[in-house]
Amino acid sequence: MQQSACTLKNVKKVFGSIVANNNVNLDIRRGEILSLLGENGSGKTTLMNILSGIYFPDEGEIFVNGEQVTIRSPKDAFDLGIGMIHQHFKLVDVFTAAENVVLGLEEKTRFDLKKVAAKIGEICDKYGFHVDPYQKVYNMSVSEKQTLEIVKVLYRGADILILDEPTAVLTPQETEKLFSVIRNMKKHGKAVVIITHKLHEVLSVSDRVAILRKGEYIGTVNTAEATELSLTEMMVGKKVELNIDRPLPVNPQKRISVSGLNCKNSEGLPVLTDVSFDAFGGEILGIAGISGCGQKELLEAIAGLQPCEEGSKIEFIAPEDETPVSLLGLSPKRISQLGVSLSFVPEDRLGMGLVGSMGMTENMMLKDYSVGHSIFTHTKEPHDLAERIREELGVVTPGLSTPVRKLSGGNVQKVLVGREIAAAPKVLMTAYAVRGLDINTSYTIYHLLNEQKAKGVAVIYVGEDLDVLLALCDRILVLAQGKVTGIVDARKTTKEEVGLLMTGKGGDK
Amino acid sequence: MTLASFISWFTGAFVFGIVIMLGCVGETLTEKSGNLNLGVPGIMYLGGISSLSAVFMTQLRVREMIAEAAAVFVEAGNRAQEWVPETGLLKFLTQPVTSAITVKGAEASYRVFFDFNGWIGVVIAIVAALIGAAFGGLIYSFLTVTLRANQNVTGLTLTIFGSGVANFFGGSLNKLAGGVGQISVATTSTAFRTSFPWISTAFGKVSELLFNYGFFSYIAIVIAIIAHIYLNKTRHGLNLRAVGENPATADAAGINVTKYKYLATCIGAAISGLGGLYFVMDYIKGTWANDGSIESLGWLAVALVIFTKWKPINAIWGAFVFGLCYWVYLYMPQGVSEILAELFGVQKISHLQSLYKMLPYIVTIIVLIITSLRKKRENQPPQSLGLSYFREDR
């Protein structure tokens, strides 16, 4: 039996009328990895924010090393040895790694960044990772930033580490590396908590799993005794079908044809190099790649939002009409009138497509603002559409006029994806449609995509989770640094093959 | 251009520059905490009027006190005169004290007090300017940090408030002093314009160009250097910058965001207020003018923050460049002015003045364009500038 590092008793936290945590009991032990599992909005992050001093609990008790404590601020949390690695990195972009590490520390010694750099080097050696103390954060990759976050909490002498969805933005290889670091920390007697909703990760890395459902604490089980199905049932509260349907494409017709596509970013560097592929109606084409490898630019180029280089070719073939129409040079509005729809879910979810301070109804209206000629707005249809999306997708919101910014991430995404699908497109492009969504909602969205596929729509799905890409798509196009490294049949390929293609190494096979 | 006119252009630009440099350094500190305080003109107004009225009222009060004392003295003398015969005891004691002599004595002692102690006025002026301006910063922080009001609206309101308050009291002071232009705190102003001995004359023209300004000019430059060191070389400076870049990160790192925002805004405002003080005491020599000149200087200070790319050290030369641009119309060769007048279809050459006065703003816009084109992250404004922060915001 390991020593208990931190215990939560009957913790409750309320935001306005929403109960984010209720009666949560948690036991975090040294030399152990605990997974915190739950759907979106089940209060995992809120709970950990309470531990790290960002939020203050309304009720309940917290014990650290057997003593009851009050954590009023992040500083209190540090003093108790609790360090949190947030899902959205808490780093200052224009600072160097070392500057970020010492931020907020009240050391009595003279301010000397060289000493800090030396100590960072020591920590890196101990746990086996690499950080350049003088590198600016804005030059770092996602995984480097995450490593820096871990160094930051270790530098502060944390021995209870909380990682909030650490693998959401990592490739399978980077994830494996992260897990080995975490196992290393476990060996050194640290207590580690991982928040995630990827079940296979829970099973592979953790010792025990604590499950939350809609803010309520469900229970803690030993990972060795759990299976994917049993965990899902605890999480969702009912039996769920974990298999994604994948009907064979019916009568696939060429819908989009891209060849020799080249794009440059605003700094003049190539982001897409010689991309060629076809997308068929009635088929789901997956696009895999490490984030920032040109997925966004590819979709934007098709939607007319990204200028393309000379010689690029993008053609659209309407189902009723065999003659290809070139999409290059058409305005985004014209392209979307042809039936090419793009729903891009950026990391912050609100960045593209929705206006945070507007309600659901008004956000529905954004898409067809130009319909009708009256100077007054038509609210009836958007209102009905909003109502329908709310019911069909189960959007949890106090009302249709509540600003979407106030909804939880998953619900915001449902609104966005729901609206795009409702536009009845002929080509539906979605990027990160299930980013950060829980299992139940994700499956609702996969189901919606399959419905579109059955209707003969060409679906292009940019995803992060390889397991899902492999289970949902018919074909997978892999991008690495703006180049197509392969188009594989999703029914025959393996995760390893796709992972290798993503790093650009498998390209010559 | 003759050497004499070059020197006068240079010195004019220097003194002008000190005013906006102080405004700019204060505003830079404030903006580094993420508070976009557009109330700089109002704050400089507050600093200026606080110092002027404090010194003026002290002078007035001291004069009154001495006059009162004299009156008491005179009355005592008179009473002694009346009283003595009644008792019949002290007849031989006094010569009657005449009021005229006493009042003259009081005037003299007043002058002695202030002529020799212009420095008392300096201390009073600085303290008053710091308090008055920091008060403006406090209003701003309370509204934007505690109540989370919109920063732009609050700042603009503060500008209107500051200029209103200042011009109201400026008008009253004029009245008290007996008419527009009658306010004079000459002794204090002279003290402010005292330059350092020896060095101000030792090197001929060089001294005239660089070392012949009021001592406060050099204090201002030292303030800019200290601000630079604070921001870039100290732990607290690092924390402050983090607050302005990303308050959520700073908060998670255990930095008290509210405290930093309050302190940076109030201290920044106090420094900006010293610009107003310098303007009143040195630039216009201890008088008051209700012509809105402080306001236009305040906006130049805001423009200078952008020009300097949020680095106080750049403000030292940046302010001087602004000063040169601002006064260039006085020293423009006749030929150039004539060509320009022809070009813009201006009737009188003196009307070109307004065009020349746009130069600092045009320079700022050019700097903005260049820095935007270069896209260097270090030259951008603090990332969360203008946004309020609430920890439990979802």
**DSSP assignments along B129-185, one per residue:** HHHHHHHHHHHHHIIIIIS---HHHHHHHHHHHHHHHHHHHHHHHHHHHTSTT----
Domain positions in chain A: 4-236, 244-339+425-509
Q: Collect all residues of chain A within an 8 Å Cβ-Cβ radius of residue B254.
A: 73-75, 77-78, 104-105
Q: What secondary structure does DSSP assign to B30-64, as a single string?
A: HHHTT---TTHHHHHHHHHHHHHHHHHHHHHHHHH
**B365: CB partners within 8 A, 6+ apart:** none
How close A54 comes to chain B (CA, Å)? 7
pLDDT digits (tens, 9 = 90+) for B250-269: 988 888 999 999 999 999 99
Q: Which helix (H) or strand (E) holds A69?
A: strand A67-69
Euclidean distance between CA atoms A468 and A450, whole angstroms = 13
Instruction: Give the bridge partners for A209, in sequence order.
Output: A35, A221
pLDDT digits (tens, 9 = 90+) for B286-342: 888 777 788 889 998 999 999 899 999 999 999 999 999 888 888 877 788 788 888
Select from A78, A103, A107 the Cβ nearest to the Cβ of B242: A103
pLDDT digits (tens, 9 = 90+) for A183-209: 988 888 889 999 887 778 888 889 999
Identify the closest residue of chain B to A88 by CA–CA distance.
B249
User: Per-residue pLDDT averaged across A1-28, rounded?
Assistant: 82
Is the pLDDT confidence value at B125 over 80? Answer: yes
Max avg pLDDT among A370-384, B216-230, B288-302: B216-230
Max CA distance (Å), chain B = 97
A residues 19..58 contacting B (CB < 8 A): 52, 54-55
Select from B251, B375, B378 the Cβ nearest to the Cβ of A74: B251
Euclidean distance between CA atoms A69 and B180, whole angstroms = 66
Residue B117 near residue B47 (C-beta atoms within 8 A): no
Q: Collect all residues of chain A within an 8 Å Cβ-Cβ radius of residue B380.
A: 94
Is the pLDDT confidence value at B247 over 80? Answer: yes
The confidence score (pLDDT) of residue B162 equals 94
How close B373 comes to chain A (CA, Å)? 10
Euclidean distance between CA atoms A281 and A284, whole angstroms = 8
Residue A315 pLDDT grade (very low, low, confident, very high; cuts 50, 70, 90) = confident
Residue A21 near residue A11 (C-beta atoms within 8 A): yes
Identify the closest residue of chain B to A109 by CA–CA distance.
B235
Inter-chain touch B245–A94, beta carbons under 8 Å: yes
**B105: CB partners within 8 A, 6+ apart:** B70
Inter-chain touch B254–A78, beta carbons under 8 Å: yes
Residue A393 pLDDT grade (very low, low, confident, very high; cuts 50, 70, 90) = confident
CA A473 to chain centre: 19
Q: Are strands A427-431 and A340-344 parallel, antiparallel or unpaired?
A: parallel
- Give the torsion through C-alpha atoms of A129, A133, A137, A142, to 10 deg: -10
Domain A244-339+425-509 adopts which CATH fold? Rossmann fold (3.40.50)
Inter-chain touch A86–B391, beta carbons under 8 Å: no
In terms of pLDDT, which residue wins out, B101 or A222? Answer: A222
pLDDT digits (tens, 9 = 90+) for A438-473: 777 778 788 888 888 888 888 888 887 777 888 888
A residues 325..354 contacting B (CB < 8 A): none
What is the SS3 assignment for A24? strand
Angle of helix B3-32 relative to helix B312-331, nearest 10 degrees?
140
Q: Which helix (H) or strand (E) holds A502?
A: helix A495-502
- Assigned architecture for domain B3-59+121-331: Orthogonal Bundle (1.10)
Euclidean distance between CA atoms B259 and B240, whole angstroms = 10
**B71: CB partners within 8 A, 6+ apart:** none
Q: Which amino acid is at A240?
A: V
How close B139 comes to chain A (CA, Å)? 26
A74 vs B: CB within 8 A: yes
Q: Which helix (H) or strand (E) holds A22?
A: strand A18-29
Inter-chain touch A74–B253, beta carbons under 8 Å: yes
Residue B183 near residue B298 (C-beta atoms within 8 A): no
The model's pTM is: 0.74
Select from B238, B241, B249 the Cβ nearest to the Cβ of A91: B249
Q: Is B384 exposed, middle or buried (0-12, 13-18, 19+ CB in 10 A)?
A: buried
**Mean of the per-residue pLDDT values for chain A?**
81
Max CA distance (Å), chain A = 75
The confidence score (pLDDT) of residue B109 equals 67
- Residue A298, token pair as written in the block: 């590819």
Is the pLDDT confidence value at A282 over 90? Answer: no
Inter-chain touch A92–B392, beta carbons under 8 Å: no
pLDDT digits (tens, 9 = 90+) for B68-124: 777 776 776 666 555 555 554 444 444 445 555 556 666 666 666 655 567 888 999
The confidence score (pLDDT) of residue B141 equals 95
Q: What are phi and psi of B192, to 5 degrees?
A: -65, -35
Is the pLDDT confidence value at A230 over 50? Answer: yes
Is the pLDDT confidence value at B189 over 90? Answer: no
A455 vs B: CB within 8 A: no
Q: Can you give the C-alpha Rg of chain A in angstroms?
A: 24
What is the SS3 assignment for B344? helix
C-beta atoms surrounding B177 within 10 Å: 17
Q: Collect all residues of chain B within an 8 Å Cβ-Cβ radius of residue A92.
A: 241-242, 245-246, 249-250
Select from A55, A84, A111 the Cβ nearest to the Cβ of B392: A55
pLDDT digits (tens, 9 = 90+) for A122-168: 988 888 888 899 999 988 887 888 889 889 888 888 889 999 888 87
Q: Collect all residues of chain A within an 8 Å Cβ-Cβ radius of residue B253.
A: 74, 90, 103-105, 152
Percent of chain B residues topping a pLDDT of 90: 43
Identical topology for domains A4-236 and A244-339+425-509: yes
- Residue B161, token pair as written in the block: 């408030």
Is the pLDDT confidence value at A475 over 50? Answer: yes
The confidence score (pLDDT) of residue A74 equals 82
Q: Where are the alpha helices (DSSP H) in A31-141?
A: 44-51, 74-79, 97-102, 113-127
Select from A54, A99, A106 the Cβ nearest to the Cβ of B252: A54
**B106: CB partners within 8 A, 6+ apart:** B66, B67, B69, B70
C-beta atoms surrounding B380 within 10 Å: 16
Per residue, the 3-state secondary structure of A150-213, as one string, reads HHHHHHCCCCEEEEECCCCCCCHHHHHHHHHHHHHHHHCCCEEEEEECCHHHHHHHCCEEEEEE
The confidence score (pLDDT) of residue A328 equals 80
Q: Which of B33, B234, B238 to mutate to test the interface with A (most CBs of A within 10 A)?
A: B238
Residue A6 near residue A191 (C-beta atoms within 8 A): yes
CA distances from A493 to A170, A313, B11, B263, B334 (A): 21, 28, 77, 60, 81
Q: Which amino acid is at A15?
A: F
Could you tell me how many CB contacts below 8 A there are between chain A and chain B?
A: 77
Domain positions in chain B: 3-59+121-331, 60-117
> A403-417, A479-493, B216-230, B326-340: which range is least confident on average?
A403-417
Q: Which helix (H) or strand (E) holds B117?
A: none
A residues 248..287 contacting B (CB < 8 A): 267
Spell out which chain B residues touch chain A, with contact meaning CB-CB distance below 8 angstroms.
233-235, 238-239, 241-242, 245-246, 248-256, 375, 377-378, 380, 383, 391-392, 394
How close B40 comes to chain A (CA, Å)? 26
Q: Give all strands (DSSP E) within chain B, no chain letters.
A: none
Residue B20 near residue B275 (C-beta atoms within 8 A): yes
Residue A509 pLDDT grade (very low, low, confident, very high; cuts 50, 70, 90) = very low
Inter-chain touch A74–B254, beta carbons under 8 Å: yes
User: Per-residue pLDDT averaged across B132-148, rounded?
Assistant: 95
Percent of chain A residues topping a pLDDT of 70: 90
pLDDT digits (tens, 9 = 90+) for B343-361: 888 777 777 777 787 888 8
User: Per-residue pLDDT averaged across A41-54, rounded?
Assistant: 83
Q: Collect all residues of chain B within an 8 Å Cβ-Cβ radius of residue A52.
A: 252
| Nearest Cα residue to A422 out of A372, A480, A365, A468 | A365
The confidence score (pLDDT) of residue A442 equals 79
A494 vs B: CB within 8 A: no
pLDDT digits (tens, 9 = 90+) for A63-75: 988 888 888 888 8
Is the pLDDT confidence value at A508 over 50? Answer: no
Q: Collect all residues of chain A within an 8 Å Cβ-Cβ radius of residue B235.
A: 102, 105-107, 111
| Nearest Cα residue to A410 out of A214, A218, A241, A230 | A214
Instruction: Give the bridge partners for A342, in sequence order.
Output: A429
Inter-chain touch A103–B249, beta carbons under 8 Å: yes
The confidence score (pLDDT) of residue A140 equals 84
pLDDT digits (tens, 9 = 90+) for A93-115: 899 999 999 988 877 777 888 88
Q: Collect all residues of chain B within an 8 Å Cβ-Cβ radius of residue A109.
A: none
- The vertex-A230 CA angle with A229 and A231, nearest 5°, equals 90
pLDDT digits (tens, 9 = 90+) for B16-37: 999 999 999 999 999 999 999 9
Q: Is A489 exposed, middle or buried (0-12, 13-18, 19+ CB in 10 A)?
A: exposed
Q: Collect all residues of chain A within an 8 Å Cβ-Cβ radius of residue B251.
A: 54, 74
Residue B44 pLDDT grade (very low, low, confident, very high; cuts 50, 70, 90) = very high
CA distances from A409 to A39, A438, B120 (A): 11, 10, 62
Q: Can you give the C-alpha Rg of chain B in angstroms?
A: 26
How close B150 comes to chain A (CA, Å)? 15
Q: Collect all residues of chain B within an 8 Å Cβ-Cβ radius of residue A137.
A: none
Q: What are phi and psi of A271, to 5 degrees?
A: -110, -25
Q: Collect all residues of chain B within an 8 Å Cβ-Cβ radius of residue A406.
A: 394
The confidence score (pLDDT) of residue A99 equals 92
Is the pLDDT confidence value at A5 over 80? Answer: yes
Select from A15, A75, A92 the Cβ nearest to the Cβ of B246: A92
> A368-372, A420-424, A428-432, A443-447: which range is least confident on average?
A368-372
Is the pLDDT confidence value at B221 over 90? Answer: yes
Residue A100 near residue A91 (C-beta atoms within 8 A): yes
pLDDT digits (tens, 9 = 90+) for A333-351: 777 777 777 666 655 556 5
Residue A138 near residue A169 (C-beta atoms within 8 A): no
Domain A4-236 is in which class? Answer: alpha beta
